[in-house]
Amino acid sequence: SSYFRSLVAGADTKIPIANGKYVTAINFDNAATTPPLCSVLKEIACFAPWYASVHRGKGYKSILTSERYDHGREVVKQFVKADKHDVVVFTKNTTESINMLAYALATDDKQQVVLSTDMEHLANDLPWRDKFTIDYVAITSSGRLSLENLALKLQTYEGRVKLVTVTGASNVTGYINPIHTIARLAHKYGAKIFVDGAQWVPHTPVDMKPYDSPEHIDYLTFSAHKMYAPFGAGVLIGAKETFEQAIPVYQGGGAVGLVSQQTIEWDSPPAKYEAGTPNMMGVLALITAIETLSRLNIGDIHNYERKLIDYAIGGLSTIPGITLYSTRDRDEERVSLVSFSLEGMHHSQVAEILSQEAGIAVRNGLFCAHPYVEKLLNLSEKEISHYQTQNDKTIPGLVRISFGIYNNLREIEGFLDLLSHVAKHRQYYARKYSYVLAPDRCG
Ligand code: PMP
């Protein structure tokens, strides 16, 4: 664990907390954004003198930059075992990728169905709503995706389902979905499958499988900033034909062949989907992060993070007043995050206490997965409408901890000790932090 920790920049940064004390920051909010790998920072610094425009110019540095950038597509494909005919489009992040795909797949036929699920991040829900008939696969009482309900919905829509769009791993419960079983089902009914890999790809080996496999993943996206590579890159992977057929949402230089004022000759994908000067440094950061994670072995990373989350879940479940929004079953497939609430205390107070008392950064609120958290909390439409219309700042939500490769058991122990103390002295802490009233609405 100390080797993993040594690879990440700023893992031992000192930060101020209450009473003017300084402590080593503990970051348990890796599901939002991870700190950079040292290898990423080094590569960016080393490459900077060679940096030039991508796909624009015959200059030596421009050619070198373009080669590096395009080679990045192969690195991405290998990392997730994409089919050799897939194209990799570099984007800004997962949200942009999903919006681009939704535009690429949309037609005038609004009767076509996209099956999303009750456990999606809003990025994998909102872009589909206005372009398709959308329906949501239900979750079970423990918050797992219901495969029975998926099969039922696929049958009910009788061939109208164009796409099943589902997260690889939930950013609220950490559950990993049985993606290949879902793919098999979707394909059986003539639908394609898109996987939101934002919380999945950085934490577990991913295999998109070849086109001739019934378990093939048709489309996949993920974000570099959640896998130790800042600077704003993401990817969208899928079959070339999808991108060949549709008109891209972003249009401009770099996406076209010859243009007149009457006609456009579109370039072939992925260039067609990358109008404007590409984010070379973002892509370089992503490629370097992938190379480092591959060298460490993503399977080993998964096993290490699994130990962390099992330990945290075990500890949380012994603290009186804590409700866990996840099963404790060690056989369940999951990534290294979990959400909880503490009875009698608002989620934003818990987050503030952890930050102010011990420099522990967690996330609280609805985590941009509003319908999922609303269902986990059994909120009625009437209650939701109350919070929407009354501007009531006590909006419900959860507290989430999420680990990266550099976190360790000692940090979790400190977190559990503090939380046990808070649970035991709830009134004292609730009074001390009574000023905390303004949770993050998106979370
Ligand atoms: N999907 C999931 C499951 C996520 O956790 C996130 C990030 N919170 C996103 C999509 C959106 O990612 P980004 O902000 O990088 O676009």
Q: With 70 as the cut, is the pLDDT of residue 440 above it?
A: no
* Residue 365 to residue 424: CA distance in whole angstroms: 23
Do 201 and 213 share a domain, yes or no?
yes
Q: With 60 as the cut, is the pLDDT of residue 372 above it?
A: yes
> Reduced to 3 states, what is the DSSP secondary structure of residue 92?
coil
Q: Minimum mean pLDDT among 142-151, 280-289, 379-388: which range?
A: 379-388
Q: What are the tens digits of pLDDT across the range 32-58?
A: 999 999 999 999 999 999 999 998 889
Rounded to an integer, what is the distance from CA 228 to the centroid of its chain? 13
- CATH number, domain with residue 8: 3.90.1150.10
pLDDT at residue 384, rounded to an integer: 87
Ligand 1 center to 421 CA (angstroms): 33
Mean pLDDT over the full length of the chain: 95
Do 353 and 228 share a domain, yes or no?
no
* Residue 306 to residue 292: CA distance in whole angstroms: 19
The answer as to whether 58 is a domain residue is yes
**The whole model's pTM is what?**
0.96
Do 268 and 383 share a domain, yes or no?
no
Q: What share of the chain in percent tops pLDDT 90?
A: 89
Q: Whose CA is nearest to atom 5 of ligand 1?
A: 171
Q: Which domain holds residue 208?
A: 41-294
> Reduced to 3 states, what is the DSSP secondary structure of residue 351?
helix
Select from 33, 34, 91, 95 the residue to mutate for testing ligand 1; criterion: most ligand atoms less than 8 Å from CB.
95
pLDDT at residue 155, rounded to an integer: 96
Enumerate residues 6+ apart whose C-beta is below 8 A from 392: 386
DSSP string, 66-84: HHHHHHHHHHHHHHTT--T
The answer as to whether 441 is a domain residue is no
pLDDT at residue 158, rounded to an integer: 85
Q: What share of the chain in percent tops pLDDT 70?
A: 98
Q: Whose CA is nearest to atom 4 of ligand 1?
A: 198
Do 194 and 321 share a domain, yes or no?
no
pLDDT at residue 131, rounded to an integer: 95
Q: With 90 as the cut, is the pLDDT of residue 353 above it?
A: yes
The answer as to whether 35 is a domain residue is no
Do 246 and 393 share a domain, yes or no?
no
End-to-end CA distance of the chain: 29
Mean pLDDT for the stretch of residues 246-250: 93
Q: Which two tokens stand for residue 6?
A: 């040594």
pLDDT band at residue 110 using 50, 70 and 90 as cut-offs: confident
Do 148 and 202 share a domain, yes or no?
yes
Give me the count of residues in the chain. 443
Q: What are the tens digits of pLDDT across the range 167-195?
A: 999 999 999 999 999 999 999 999 999 99
Q: Which two tokens stand for residue 142?
A: 């423990």
* Residue 125 to residue 118: CA distance in whole angstroms: 9
The answer as to whether 380 is a domain residue is yes
Q: What are the tens digits of pLDDT across the range 79-92?
A: 999 999 999 999 99
pLDDT band at residue 415 using 50, 70 and 90 as cut-offs: very high
Q: Which two tokens stand for residue 50?
A: 């060679």
Nearest ligand 1 atom, CA 171: 5
Nearest ligand 1 atom, CA 168: 3
Nearest ligand 1 atom, CA 234: 15
DSSP state of 143: S
CB of 257 closer than 8 Å to CB of 265: yes
Q: Whose CA is nearest to atom 6 of ligand 1?
A: 198
Nearest ligand 1 atom, CA 223: 15
Do 311 and 423 share a domain, yes or no?
yes
Ligand 1 center to 18 CA (angstroms): 31
Residue type, 402: S
Ligand 1 center to 365 CA (angstroms): 15
The answer as to whether 384 is a domain residue is yes
pLDDT at residue 73, rounded to an integer: 98
Mean pLDDT for the stretch of residues 395-409: 97
Which of 294, 318, 343 delimits the end of a domain? 294
Q: With 80 as the cut, is the pLDDT of residue 345 above it?
A: yes
CB of 359 closer than 8 Å to CB of 367: no
pLDDT at residue 331, rounded to an integer: 72
User: How many domains does the chain contain in total?
Assistant: 2
Mean pLDDT for the stretch of residues 220-230: 98
Q: What sign results for the dihedral spanned by CA atoms 328, 193, 302, 28? A: negative
> Reduced to 3 states, what is the DSSP secondary structure of residue 388?
helix
Ligand 1 center to 196 CA (angstroms): 8
Q: Compute, in degrees rounded to 10, the torsion defined by CA atoms 272, 278, 283, 285.
A: -170
Ligand 1 center to 259 CA (angstroms): 36
Select from 30, 145, 171, 203 the residue to mutate for testing ligand 1; criterion: most ligand atoms less than 8 Å from CB.
171
> Reduced to 3 states, what is the DSSP secondary structure of residue 150?
helix
Nearest ligand 1 atom, CA 368: 8
Mean pLDDT for the stretch of residues 329-357: 93
Ligand 1 center to 386 CA (angstroms): 27
CB of 311 closer than 8 Å to CB of 100: no
Mean pLDDT for the stretch of residues 128-142: 96
The answer as to whether 76 is a domain residue is yes
Do 26 and 70 share a domain, yes or no?
no
Which of 238, 266, 294 delimits the end of a domain? 294
Q: With 90 as the cut, is the pLDDT of residue 398 above it?
A: yes
Which is nearest to 154 in space by CA: 130, 137, 177, 168? 137
Select from 219, 336, 368, 372 the residue to mutate for testing ligand 1; criterion: most ligand atoms less than 8 Å from CB.
368
pLDDT band at residue 329 using 50, 70 and 90 as cut-offs: confident
Q: Which two tokens stand for residue 159?
A: 């061939």
Greatest C-alpha distance within the chain: 73
Ligand 1 center to 422 CA (angstroms): 31
pLDDT at residue 438, rounded to an integer: 55
pLDDT at residue 57, rounded to an integer: 86
Do 77 and 144 share a domain, yes or no?
yes
CB of 419 closer than 8 Å to CB of 335: no
CB of 364 closer than 8 Å to CB of 348: yes
Do 89 and 168 share a domain, yes or no?
yes
Do 111 and 14 share a domain, yes or no?
no
The answer as to whether 87 is a domain residue is yes
Ligand 1 center to 425 CA (angstroms): 35
The answer as to whether 130 is a domain residue is yes
* Residue 416 to residue 250: CA distance in whole angstroms: 47
- CATH number, domain with residue 247: 3.40.640.10
How many angstroms separate the Cα of 330 from the Cα of each of 1, 34, 95, 311, 327?
21, 25, 31, 10, 9
* Residue 360 to residue 424: CA distance in whole angstroms: 19
How many angstroms separate the Cα of 179 from the Cα of each of 129, 207, 220, 345?
22, 10, 11, 36
Which of 294, 314, 345 delimits the end of a domain? 294
Residues near ligand 1 (Cβ within 6 A)? 31, 93-95, 121, 123-124, 167, 171, 196, 198-199, 223, 368
HSE, CB side, 13 Å, CA atoms: give it for residue 243: 27
* Residue 247 to residue 270: CA distance in whole angstroms: 12
pLDDT at residue 356, rounded to an integer: 96
Do 229 and 278 share a domain, yes or no?
yes
pLDDT at residue 437, rounded to an integer: 67
pLDDT band at residue 24 using 50, 70 and 90 as cut-offs: very high
